[in-house]
Every structure is written in structure tokens, then in C-alpha cells.
Amino acid sequence: MDVFTTKKDLIAHISNIKTNKKTIGFVPTMGALHQGHLTLVSASLQQTDYTVVSIFVNPTQFNNTIDLEKYPRNLIQDLDLLKTLSKEVIVFSPKASELYGDNLESTVYDFEGLEHQMEGKFRPGHFDGVGTVLKLFFNCINPTKAFFGEKDFQQLQIVKKLVELEQLEVEIVGCPIYREKNGLAYSSRNERLTDLQRKEAKVIFEVLQNAQQDFGIKSATIIKKEVVEVFKNHKLFDLEYFEIADTKTLKELTSFNPEIQYRAFIAVFADSVRLIDNIALN
């Protein structure tokens, strides 16, 4: 497995591959790899000839310094894991200064309002950081396809918008959420949960499943109220938001339209660990 830490070496390697008319898949990650990440890598390996996996904890997308400091980093383990998958995996793990140069700042993007909903409200500047780092990666890698998890559904929609706005020649592929046995969506941040929190975090998927069952029977307002109630006196988890929103505009449902696809979105804190999840409703 080839591992690169500099743009120059990665670009040279990729241009070599491309002279042989091979396709490149790209799976951006922040490392501390888990089964959810691996489903993206597998999809990419199936659909393209070579898969670049980036491992980079991107400082510009963190609005909370403690979250950035405490974000799990397991590069050696990540490389061992990726090595077992396929020789067609290429790892890019740059330092921030290598990727950004002297300018560790975000470009300010207008994602036509997608950036102001949900995660955007609670993590100001987050999607500018995501857009900025992806643009840097896309410039080096020039992938044929790039793979993103529906776990970060808002991010997936924003990446599609970025590609449209910047007229990039890459196909964005969304991959389903991969869950632990109890329903908790795999996340690098799960490592920071206590055993009890990790076990009880099944409540997040449970409320999403209940919302899915009740959708069309109860109003969105009632469903939301019931979710708020579940977390009101919860010993382990604090609800940050629960929203039922249009999957295209990400705007909160105000009056139901059967032509529109909706999803329920949730963000919850277990102490300082922030967990997000979502589910399709119709």
C-alpha cells in the first residue's frame, strides 16, 4: 500500500496511474477508522481502479477547540487496517501545513442556504472548512468518484452543491449509514464514550425509528415534541436539535408535501461528545 504525506509525491503517483487510463476513487476521512469508513472504501474499490483514502483531521472545520484536541487519532492502526483491504488503496496523510501552506483559513462559501441549517446553526464556519479542505483535496487527486456517508447527510448535500458551483468533474456517491449492533451509527467519536454511554446511545436510533414509524400519522410538531420529551430528563444525553427537513433544501418541514422526500436529523451530547444521526422518513 502506498502512503503519501506530500502533495507533490501524491500528484506524481496519481498522474502515473492516470496515464494508464485507470479511474480514481476518493474517500476523505479524519482517521480513527471504523467499519463505517470501510464501507465507503469497499464501495470505492468496487467502482474504481484505485482508491485514495485521505486521513486528515481538518482544523478549519472545527469550531470547538476541545473537540479538535480530543478528536481520536490512530494513524498506525488506520494504516494497518487499510493495508489488509487491497493493494489498490493509496493513503494520503498530510500535515496541515503541507495541505494549506501558510494559509490555514477557510474560504467563505455560499451553498445557497444549505450551510445555514442544522449543523450550520450549531457549528458556525464548519461547512466553509469542509468545502475548503475538499477543494484542496480535489485539486491534488482529481478523482473520478468521491464517496461520502449519509451519516453526515447535510455534508453530502453540501459536497454535491460544491461540485455543482465549482463545476468539478467528479461524481459524488452517497453511501448508507453503517450501524453498531444496537443501532448506534459508527463514528470515530464513539471511542470517547463510556461503555454505558455507548450501550445506551441506542436511544438515538430508537427515536429516529419511532419518528419514521409515526411520520404521516402524527404531525412533525408532535413527533418533535415527543423526541424533546425523551431527552428532557435523560441521565446520559442532552438533545441539541431534532428536525424533520426536506432532503434537498434541508429546510425544516412546516407543511407536509407528499412530493418531497423528508429526513429526520438529530444531534445529541453525551458529556462533551457530540453525536449526529439521521433517517429517511418517506
Would you please indicate which residues are annotated as catalytic (active-site) residues? 37
Q: Is 62 in the site for ligand AMP (CB under 6 A)?
A: no
- Asked if residue 56 binds ligand AMP (CB under 6 A), the reply is no
Give the torsion sign (CA, 232, 69, 121, 31).
negative
Site string for ligand AMP, 183-222 (x = CB under 6 A): --xxxx----------------------------------
- Does 149 participate in binding ligand AMP (rule CB under 6 A)? yes
What H or E segment, with its residue span, contains residue 145? strand 145-149
Asked if 45 and 22 count as a contact pair (C-beta separation under 8 A), the reply is no
Question: How would you class 1 by CB atoms within 10 Å of its CB: exposed for 0-12, middle for 13-18, buried for 19 or more?
Answer: middle
Q: In the bound complex, what is the minimum distance in angstroms from residue 12's beta carbon to ligand AMP?
A: 26
Dist. CA 150–CA 148, nearest whole Å: 7
For ligand AMP, the binding residue among 10, 14, 24, 29 (CB under 6 A) is 29
**Per-residue x/- mask for ligand AMP, residues 163 to 182, rule CB under 6 A?**
------------x-xx----
Taking each helix axis from N to C end, the angle separating 202-214 and 220-232, rounded to the nearest 10 degrees, works out to 160
Query: If DSSP states are collapsed to H, E and C, what string results for 113-137?
Result: CHHHCHHHHHCCCHHHHHHHHHHHH
The distance of closest approach from Cβ of residue 185 to ligand AMP in the complex, given in angstroms and rounded to an integer, is: 4
What type of residue is 66? Answer: I
Does 40 contact ligand AMP by CB under 6 A? Answer: yes
Supply the minimum distance, in Å, between the C-beta of residue 147 and ligand AMP.
7
| Shortest CB 225 distance to ligand AMP, Å | 28
Cell numbers linked to 27: 474517500
Site for ligand AMP, rule CB under 6 A: 29-30, 36-37, 39-40, 148-149, 151-152, 175, 177-178, 185-188
